Amino acid sequence: MRSRLRRAAREWLPAALVFVAGIAIWEGAVRGFGIENFLLPAPWDIIGTLVDDWGELSSAAFFTFREALAGFVIGCSAGFLVAAAIARFRLLRTAIMPYAIAAGAIPIIAFAPITNNWFGVTGMSSKIAIAAILCFFPMLVNTMKGLTSVPASSIELMRSYAASELTIFRRVRVPTSLPYVFAGLKVGTVLAMIGAIVGDYFGGSPGALGVEIRRWVGIFAFDQAWAGIVLASALGIVFYGSVAVAERLAMGWHPSVRGARPE
Amino acid sequence: MSEQAVVSLRNVTKSFGAGGVTALQSIDLDVRPGEFVSLIGPSGCGKSTLLRVVGDLVEPSSGEVIVNGKSARQARRDRDYGIVFQDAVLYDWRTVEKNIALPLELLGWDKGRQTERVRELLELVELQGFGSHRPWQLSGGMQQRVSIARALSFAPALLLMDEPFGALDEMTRERLNSELLRIWQASGSTVIFVTHSISEAVFLSTRTVVMSRRPGRIAAIVDVDLAQPRNADTREEPRFFELVTEVRDRLREGGLDEESTAPGEGELVVSEETP
């Protein structure tokens, strides 16, 4: 137990020290050089605002997080399903894959004003759409790579047992592709948050985080704006972390998760 | 004779692509029940392809393949054979036990019977106590033993083995050769075994099929009349060396047969050691 604590400390302590030092330098620099509040507020002021305006801030952040989460679920599911279909049918693959890869290079965020026209400015759906489209392509490409990177002998083994395509998909292709699928999901968490907040910037319902950050900047409430950014980052980290934890749970068998051989 | 043959190949030819490489040409072969037949030949002679044709994993371009008295396709659908590849092909997300039980799951055996059978098999391949390990926690030799246990799990009458010990060191290979012979005799199954080691082919088989370079043809069949059961002493017998020499000579003839090969190249292609 004690050695586990010590190991955990050794693993986390350096990062924690850097964090504390970084905050201290930030605080010191702002106070020491008299940096203007609109350029960079001191961490302590941001923390104070977080505490004072917690109700308003958290409800805004949670609103935008719901947009991101909905977009994430829709975009990743669609990406997975399309990848599964493409992996199964070679014709679809040759027909669609070049465009899927090319589409990954399109700056989707530039479409945010357009999706507002399509799905309504004030509703959640236009932001959900942006987040979903952002998640879709990395999920598609990653899942596709995972599903088709199965060694030929793994498939031959299943065929020697007269296993159906569906059985091979469930029992071999999906487990083999899990590391790729989770890579796609983790990228998706970050993109979904970016998509939702940027979607808010182009207009959205009052009370959404992106809308509020713009409004606060407009009325020179930089402490609030910074507190909103900090909260959005924290949510993004929690979001990413939850997928990372799910990955560990789903792939406890994987050598990369379990570490080296025990012997 | 073809009535009782476990595997019967008639004029089997396989070419890849349109007008492409001919991997196998006019193969005729009968494998009788209980035989241990080795396929040996230089790299690229089509011996692995031939094994996959028997297992209906590769379709021949022409010719007839009969397994257990039916078409190769039907035999595969009836799960008439077990297969072992050069790499163990174990699924990392399954424990050793679950890997061995995979074919039993697909056959719909009930849990209790599966557990019982897996226990027997772990004993057979001497891996008791490793059932709940993950494949990547085992050495290469142990992984290959798991793969053999999986192939034997549903007691198929026919075992197809594609250079199963090719990636292992010489000492592990010799030990597993002896284990395989013990398992073969205990199970009474028929084995077709692809190898490029002459001594392995002679030590294991009742017949060694020598294949020529591309296009793959049967250059010769050498009957291996060493007494059973075989053990470490078998490798010291004069007859063992005579047979090794004979197989090597047949391989050389097969190698030099190839019209496009520079003279002498055939001799370099196959050595007794793993390349």
Determine if the peptide bond prior to B215 is cis (ω within 30°).
yes
- Using the Cβ of A248 and the Cβ atoms of chain B, whether some distance falls under 8 Å is answered with no
Answer yes or no: are the C-beta atoms of B87 and B77 closer than 8 Å. no
| DSSP H or E stretch at residue B77 | helix B72-77
- φ, ψ (nearest 5 deg) of residue A10: -65, -30
Class assignment of domain A54-258? mainly alpha
| Interface test mutation site (partner A, options B81, B89, B109, B138, max chain A beta carbons within 10 A) | B89
Answer yes or no: are the C-beta atoms of B190 and B232 closer than 8 Å. no
Residues of chain A in contact with residue B103, where contact means CB-CB under 8 angstroms, are 161
pLDDT in tens, A30-49: 888 888 888 888 888 899 99
Using DSSP's 3-state secondary structure scheme, residue B195 falls into: strand
A window 143-172, beta carbon within 8 A of B: 151, 153-154, 156-157, 159-163, 167, 171-172
Angle, CA B176 vertex, CA B48 and CA B99 arms, to 5°: 75
What was the pLDDT predicted at B262?
38
- pLDDT-derived band at B102, boundaries 50, 70, 90: very high
What was the pLDDT predicted at B255?
63
Dihedral in degrees, nearest 10, Cα atoms A116, A119, A122, A127: -70
Q: Which of A55-69, B197-211, B253-267 has the lowest mean pLDDT?
A: B253-267
The reply to whether residue B89 touches residue A253, judged by beta carbons under 8 angstroms, is no
What was the pLDDT predicted at A19?
92
The reply to whether residue A160 touches residue B55, judged by beta carbons under 8 angstroms, is yes
Asked if pLDDT for residue B1 goes beyond 50, the answer is: no
What was the pLDDT predicted at B66?
93
Pairs of residues, one from chain A and one from chain B, whose beta carbons lie less than 8 Å apart: 53
- Using the Cβ of B268 and the Cβ atoms of chain A, whether some distance falls under 8 Å is answered with no
- Using the Cβ of A10 and the Cβ atoms of chain B, whether some distance falls under 8 Å is answered with no
Using DSSP's 3-state secondary structure scheme, residue B114 falls into: helix
The reply to whether residue A156 touches residue B77, judged by beta carbons under 8 angstroms, is no
Among A154, A254, A255, beta carbon nearest to B89: A154
Residues of chain B in contact with residue A160, where contact means CB-CB under 8 angstroms, are 55, 57, 76, 81-83
ipTM of the complex: 0.84
pLDDT in tens, B234-248: 889 999 999 999 999
- Using the Cβ of B134 and the Cβ atoms of chain A, whether some distance falls under 8 Å is answered with yes
pLDDT in tens, B49-88: 999 999 999 999 999 999 999 999 999 999 999 999 999 9
Q: Tell me the HSE value of A197 on the side-chain side, using a 13 A CA sphere.
A: 23
CA B54 to chain centre: 11
Residue position matching structure tokens 């970050």:
A190
Number of other residues whose CB lies within 10 A of the CB of residue A205: 15
Name the residue among A202, A222, A184 with its Cα closest to residue A109: A202
The domain ranges of chain A are 54-258
Determine the longest span between alpha carbons in chain A, in angstroms: 75
Parallel, antiparallel, or unpaired for β B158-162 and B81-84? parallel
Angle, CA B183 vertex, CA B165 and CA A262 arms, to 5°: 55
Instruction: Give A160 to chain B, closest Cα distance, Å.
Output: 6
The reply to whether residue A157 touches residue B85, judged by beta carbons under 8 angstroms, is yes
Name the residue among A73, A138, A77 with its Cα closest to residue A103: A138
Residues of chain B in contact with residue A175, where contact means CB-CB under 8 angstroms, are 91, 93
- Using the Cβ of B55 and the Cβ atoms of chain A, whether some distance falls under 8 Å is answered with yes
Burial of B256 (0-12, 13-18, 19+ CB in 10 A): middle
What was the pLDDT predicted at B259?
40
Name the residue among A29, A145, A138 with its Cα closest to residue A75: A138
Asked if pLDDT for residue B264 goes beyond 70, the answer is: no
Strand partners, B30: B8
| Eight-state DSSP code of residue B4 | T
Q: Residues near B254 by Cβ (< 8 Å), separated by ≥ 6? A: B41, B42, B45, B210, B211, B212, B213, B217, B219, B220, B266
* Mutual angle of helices A222-250 and A209-218, in 10-degree steps: 160
Answer yes or no: are the C-beta atoms of A94 and A175 closer than 8 Å. no
Residues of chain A in contact with residue B135, where contact means CB-CB under 8 angstroms, are none
Q: Which of A105-109, A124-128, B241-245 has the lowest mean pLDDT?
A: A105-109
| Gap between the Cα atoms of A257 and A252, Å rounded | 6
pLDDT in tens, B202-235: 999 999 999 988 788 898 899 999 888 888 888 8
The reply to whether residue B83 touches residue A251, judged by beta carbons under 8 angstroms, is no
Structure tokens at A123: 């509703």
Among chain A residues, the shortest Cα distance to B159 is held by A160
| Gap between the Cα atoms of A64 and A197, Å rounded | 7
| Gap between the Cα atoms of A179 and A186, Å rounded | 11
- Using the Cβ of A256 and the Cβ atoms of chain B, whether some distance falls under 8 Å is answered with no
Give the ranges where A120-221 is alpha helix by DSSP (H).
125-148, 152-160, 165-168, 174-201, 209-218
The reply to whether residue A253 touches residue B134, judged by beta carbons under 8 angstroms, is yes
Instruction: Give A150 to chain B, closest Cα distance, Å.
Output: 11
pLDDT in tens, A226-248: 999 999 999 999 999 999 999 99
Name the residue among A77, A69, A187 with its Cα closest to residue A138: A187
| Gap between the Cα atoms of A232 and A234, Å rounded | 5
Instruction: Give A92 to chain B, closest Cα distance, Å.
Output: 22
Q: Which domains does chain B have, with CATH numbers?
A: 33-57+67-80+158-259 (3.40.50.300), 91-155 (no CATH)
